[in-house]
Structure 1
């Protein structure tokens, strides 16, 4: 069973209230059991087509669809539909606030990096600070900047690290399983970023720590996403960053 199959297997259904597919982020707002929930995912884009075929066939009518049906788009082969599906999954996932820890991923990586070599897949804004705080630290990115390694270097780096922190975007673009397979069996495996599903089912796939996002101000976040905000702007508008670990670990601060 794939991660997506596991996540979809027992999701509740809900009513879609709002959808935003922004320049950088996709957002879905649902009503589940009388409560409002919101999910985010990075907006994946595809090359421009001249066929006239719509990227989102039901655009303009999404609020009339089943939220569970929309979540099923996470298995699509069309990138933007995958983003829409992942945001829907994240909106429908049952909330388990007792397991959420308000711990900064940057601080956690610094702590783990005192005794482990750390690899970060995905160039996050805190990378320059981590370079000064973690002695053995590598960054792998599809679009590397100075100091990063290209994604082709993953087979030479990931098998030798004690901590691998992988962006949740790899779940969307289909590269996560290959990256995970490169990691040593005893490495601490993290999935991080706003697209990350905060579900305990993720721990069944060898993942140790999840670091994701919870929208706290739906209206404000919806507005900035619709206007092309990057994640710093989205977070400022109303997002709480939370971290969850598998129960057998005691790595997180309460």
Structure 2
């Protein structure tokens, strides 16, 4: 019998034991972790702390094995979980690791154009997007249905609990990698098993394990420039975070 934790455990266990954490940043929208092999990982910050924190002072995690910090991804305190997913991505989304596993750079290194390549593919199809991406609807105008599911609702969105009812009937499902942080990713992949399913965004590990778990395509962000990423996120470089890395993708054959 499989467990929802299997995907998390695989991502954590594959991290080499000799890589350590060199930086942690918890300000702003993204949680970021840099590692001793020049990796840097991001994950969406969810400041939801109903459960006790494991990492009361994140700076105390500096110097710890990256694999140990990655285990925080399984925490039910989502602030901890964001740090854990950033640690997972510091390894899996290191460009050398991602490219060695078959990931290739996306044609456009531009987040706002993530959905444009899918416009002809989704024409006349039923589409669901997990996460409110403000530019998605305009990029796919010919979809027969476009259903946006979101926990923090905007006008016209479905609440995220609608996934149980909507996803099994969709042709294309796009899932934000932030679903790893709130632990919904394994269930969303199961519900979307009949669809062409794309897991995307900087919170997404560049790992083939996601394909084995049910995704059709994985789109991640790979960087080996922690300082440059901080400059980009702070607005100190022309192209922002994309001066520090590139969007990469891998699909099932």
Q: Same fold (TM over 0.5)?
A: yes
Distance in 2 between the 1:47 and 1:66 partners?
24
Does the aligned pair in 1 maintain the 2:98–2:222 contact within 8 Å? no
Q: Please tell me whether residue 4 in structure 1 is matched to residue 8 in structure 2.
A: yes
C-alpha distance after superposition, 1:126-185 (max 9, x if no partner): 1241353433221111122122222232233211111111111111101223323322x4
Residue in 1 that maps onto 2:195: 187
Shift of the alpha carbon at 1:83?
0.7
What is the DSSP-based 3-state SS (H/G/I as helix, E as strand, rest coil) of the residue aligned with 1:173?
coil
Match of 1:22 among 27, 35, 38: 27
Q: Which has the bigger relative contact order, CA under 8 A and spacing at least 6? A: 1
How many pairs align? Answer: 236
What is the DSSP-based 3-state SS (H/G/I as helix, E as strand, rest coil) of the residue aligned with 1:3?
helix
Distance in 1 between the 2:182 and 2:131 partners?
12
Q: How does 1:29-108 map to 2 (within 5 A)?
A: 29-32=34-37, 36-47=38-49, 56-93=55-92, 95-97=97-99, 98-103=102-107, 104-108=113-117
What is the DSSP-based 3-state SS (H/G/I as helix, E as strand, rest coil) of the residue aligned with 2:202?
coil
Unmatched segments (≥5 aa) in structure 1: 249-254
Distance in 2 between the 1:192 and 1:111 partners?
19
| Deviates further, 200-209 or 104-113 | 104-113
What is the DSSP-based 3-state SS (H/G/I as helix, E as strand, rest coil) of the residue aligned with 2:105?
coil
Distance in 2 between the 1:29 and 1:222 partners?
11
Q: 1:200 to 1:54 in 2, by over 3 A?
A: closer
Distance in 2 between the 1:76 and 1:170 partners?
13
Q: 1:153 to 1:57 in 2, by over 3 A?
A: closer
TM-score of the aligned structures, taking structure 1 as reference length = 0.82
Residue in 2 that maps onto 1:156: 165
Shift of the alpha carbon at 1:8?
1.5
Residue in 2 that maps onto 1:252: none
C-alpha distance after superposition, 1:52-90 (max 9, x if no partner): x76623433322211111111111222111111111111
Q: 1:101 to 1:74 in 2, by over 3 A?
A: same
Distance in 1 between the 2:202 and 2:68 partners?
22
Shift of the alpha carbon at 1:201?
1.3
Distance in 1 between the 2:114 and 2:140 partners?
14
